[in-house]
Amino acid sequence: MKHFLRYALLSGLFLLPILAGQSIHAQAIKTNIPLILTGNPNIGVEWSVGRQMTVNTDVLWAPYMFKKNEEVFRALIGSVDFRYYINPRYYYTNDLWDGFYVGPYAMAGNFNIGLKRKDENKTSYRHKGWGVSTGITFGYKFYLSPRFRIDLNVGGGYAHLQYDKFQLGGEYANFPLEIKKTKGYIGPTKVGAHIIYNIFK
């Protein structure tokens, strides 16, 4: 039921502008530069849904798995945010907006993370599960050229995690020590520095 609810939340955010009768078209694709530089593939798309309003979606895949000590750092995360541009600096016929924006976001994903402790006398663990988050995104989109922009943003809100806990490595690595543990968090939840390519100029 919880899995259904988190996917229904994201699906609802995608469909809301359509149900509201807004005209949607893709206007820009983007990637988060720091994540690309650290080997984490990601892509985003932004649509115009009305005057000074857009929908932004991002998908991130963290693929790392290390043979040494059986360490793993894998995650698949998707997010959707609505953006309202306040006093946009530039406007084009395809409803492209630049400048400061603010709006709500929703995020969900799965993770499998286990890293070796520096102190070898302490037991290392792996955590595998899923999480959802919602809150507010703030950002600023800088104009570079008719085709390119830089988008800097940060988000904060509430995150809920549910996961199983395993010993990292060894003969019992696939036997959970604890199951369905939950954790709540309030604070910063996302940050981005994107390079944007405009499909239309």
**What average pLDDT does the segment 50-78 reach?**
86
Across-strand partners of 114?
A: 72, 126
pLDDT confidence bin for 136, thresholds 50/70/90: very high
State the pLDDT at residue 156. Answer: 96
Most confident of 86-95, 155-164, 176-185: 155-164
Q: What is the pTM of this model?
A: 0.78
pLDDT confidence bin for 118, thresholds 50/70/90: confident
Neighbours of 169 (CB within 10 A): 15
> What mean pLDDT is reported for the chain?
83
